[in-house]
């Protein structure tokens, strides 16, 4: 697929993460011969962001180990943050005062970390964990810390708690939910993972909110909504992220929760603009429902590729971008794998691989999330074979089909099955 210079000469990609790199690679693979300019807000080359709460934080990885390698001929410009957009003249304006004209624009700005108003983030001992610079700063602080508080028990918060525990530091997690990783693995699995973390010595203050954060003689004091408090040398804020659409205003497009796109990732309301990654909100054909976002690493790669194909299609119809969420993590001796969509209203069928064990998650378990008896998602902990079988069945059925899946008979004969409501 060769594209004439008069069709698309200049493509600008705003962002330099997984979605941006995937889009550039796909443009190159499809034979685009024009200029590709990638504007990155950070000084570092594109890198694997999940490494920030894993290898980079522990020191087992160097920055070069986390770099994303790519072969596309891209003009990468670091330290450029988009500040405004002229959709009529097709120009992106950056904080450096530069102007970048485009024939096609890919928005892959990802998300920014969220911290409560008034929190003195950036003061010594109070950290967020989002990018490489955050990981470096936190890794240095952990070397001298004795007690660490993690506020937020999502994937990032739990991975940070794992690093803290591996460094033999006292760790306490505070979260408003009664279990950990509620959004990522569901309430049922999150409760079982929380039990495993307690067995590993992590103190849990679940179902609690932080009212105030203040300095104390011991470092930091977190006052909770039940009148109790937590003292810590280091506080890690891991309260989630919001799509980075600050430079895209309502006069351009719907930015209510990311950029509203059609099924093919075209940003609605503007011409020759597509979006990919955590910043995109689109009707996922896999589920055939209202627009939503998917902010996982694999999703960013697949959306970047799809957005590039849509942009090259121009005004012609472009394939929809179906996406089935898939992600994983290793922490506290638990291999956690997820495929599909999880919802608090799902029925959840749990299978224990080693019935009778006190630590159900460590012994191995599979949780199938069902709606009206039809599987929508599967979560496995220390059950890689079973997860692979179920995930393959779900993916083989394709978008919208939502297959009925069950554990193979040869594997269920020695397992106790429980029916739970999530």
**Domain containing 225 — which CATH number?**
3.50.50.60
pLDDT at position 414: 35
Residue where a domain stops, chosen among 189, 208, 239? 239
In the predicted structure, residue 420 carries a pLDDT above the cut 60: no
Which of 71-75, 257-261, 371-375, 416-420 shows the lowest per-residue confidence on average (mean pLDDT)? 416-420
Backbone angles phi, psi at 98, to 5 degrees: -85, 155
pLDDT at position 408: 42
Percent of the chain with pLDDT over 90: 72
**136 domain-assigned:** yes
User: Residue 164: which pLDDT band, with cuts at 50, 70 and 90?
Assistant: very high
Q: How far apart are CA 223 and CA 215, in angstroms?
A: 11
The whole-number average pLDDT for the span 93-122 is 94
Q: 198 CB contacts (<8 Å, ≥6 apart)? A: 204
Say which residue, 305 or 254, is predicted with more confidence. Answer: 305
CA 82-88-92 angle, 5° bins: 15
Residue 67 shares a structural domain with residue 165: no
CB 47 within 8 A of CB 61: no
Residue 295 belongs to what domain range? 10-49+60-112+242-313
**390 domain-assigned:** yes
For the ranges 14-28, 64-78, 285-299, the one whose mean pLDDT is highest: 14-28
In the predicted structure, residue 397 carries a pLDDT above the cut 80: no
User: Residue 421: which pLDDT band, with cuts at 50, 70 and 90?
Assistant: very low
In the predicted structure, residue 412 carries a pLDDT above the cut 70: no
**1 domain-assigned:** no
CB 286 within 8 A of CB 325: no
pLDDT at position 3: 38
**321 domain-assigned:** no
Q: Strand pairing partners for 273? A: 105
Q: What 3-state class would DSSP assign to 248?
A: coil
pLDDT at position 410: 32
Mean pLDDT score of the chain: 89
Residue 247 shares a structural domain with residue 234: no
Q: How far apart are CA 410 and CA 412, in angstroms?
A: 6
Q: 401 CB contacts (<8 Å, ≥6 apart)? A: none
Within 10 angstroms of residue 421's Cβ, the number of other Cβ atoms is 10
Q: How far apart are CA 199 and CA 184, in angstroms?
A: 21
The whole-number average pLDDT for the span 132-137 is 92
């Amino acid at each position: 697929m060769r594209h004439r210079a008069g069709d698309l000469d200049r493509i600008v990609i705003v962002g330099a993460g997984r979605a941006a790199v995937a889009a550039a690679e796909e443009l190159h693979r499809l034979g685009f011969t024009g200029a590709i300019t990638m504007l990155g807000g950070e000084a570092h080359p594109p890198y694997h962001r999940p490494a920030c709460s894993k290898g980079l934080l522990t020191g087992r990885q160097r920055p070069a180990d986390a770099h994303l390698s790519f072969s596309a001929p891209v003009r990468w410009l670091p330290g450029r943050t988009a500040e405004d957009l002229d959709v009529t003249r097709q120009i992106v304006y950056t904080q450096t005062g530069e102007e970048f004209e485009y024939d096609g624009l890919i928005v892959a700005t990802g998300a920014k970390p969220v911290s409560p108003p008034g929190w003195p983030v950036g003061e010594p001992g109070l950290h967020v964990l989002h990018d490489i610079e955050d990981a470096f700063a936190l890794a240095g602080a952990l070397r001298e810390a004795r007690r660490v508080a993690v506020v937020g028990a999502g994937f990032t918060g739990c991975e940070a708690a794992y690093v803290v525990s591996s460094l033999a530091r006292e760790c306490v997690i505070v979260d408003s939910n009664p279990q950990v990783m509620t959004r990522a693995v569901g309430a049922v699995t999150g409760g079982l993972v929380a039990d495993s973390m307690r067995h590993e010595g992590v103190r849990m203050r679940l179902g609690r909110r932080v009212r105030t954060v203040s300095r104390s003689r011991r470092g930091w004091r977190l006052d909770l909504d039940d009148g109790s408090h937590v003292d810590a040398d280091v506080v890690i804020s891991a309260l989630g992220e919001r799509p980075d659409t600050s430079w895209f205003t309502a006069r351009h497009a719907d930015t209510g929760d990311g950029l509203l796109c059609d099924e093919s990732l075209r940003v609605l309301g503007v011409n020759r603009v597509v979006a990919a990654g955590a910043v995109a909100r689109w009707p996922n054909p896999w589920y055939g429902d209202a627009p939503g976002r998917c902010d996982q690493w694999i999703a960013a790669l697949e959306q970047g590729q799809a957005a590039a194909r849509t942009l090259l299609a121009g005004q012609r119809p472009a394939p929809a971008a179906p996406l089935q969420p898939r992600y994983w993590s290793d922490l506290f001796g638990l291999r956690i794998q997820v495929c599909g969509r999880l919802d608090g209203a799902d029925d959840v069928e749990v299978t224990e691989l080693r019935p009778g064990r006190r630590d159900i998650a460590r012994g191995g378990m599979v949780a199938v999330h069902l709606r009206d008896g039809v599987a929508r998602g599967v979560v496995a902990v220390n059950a890689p074979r079973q997860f692979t079988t179920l995930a393959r069945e779900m993916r083989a059925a394709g978008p919208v089909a939502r297959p009925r899946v069950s554990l193979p008979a040869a594997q269920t004969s020695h397992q106790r099955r429980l029916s739970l409501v999530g």
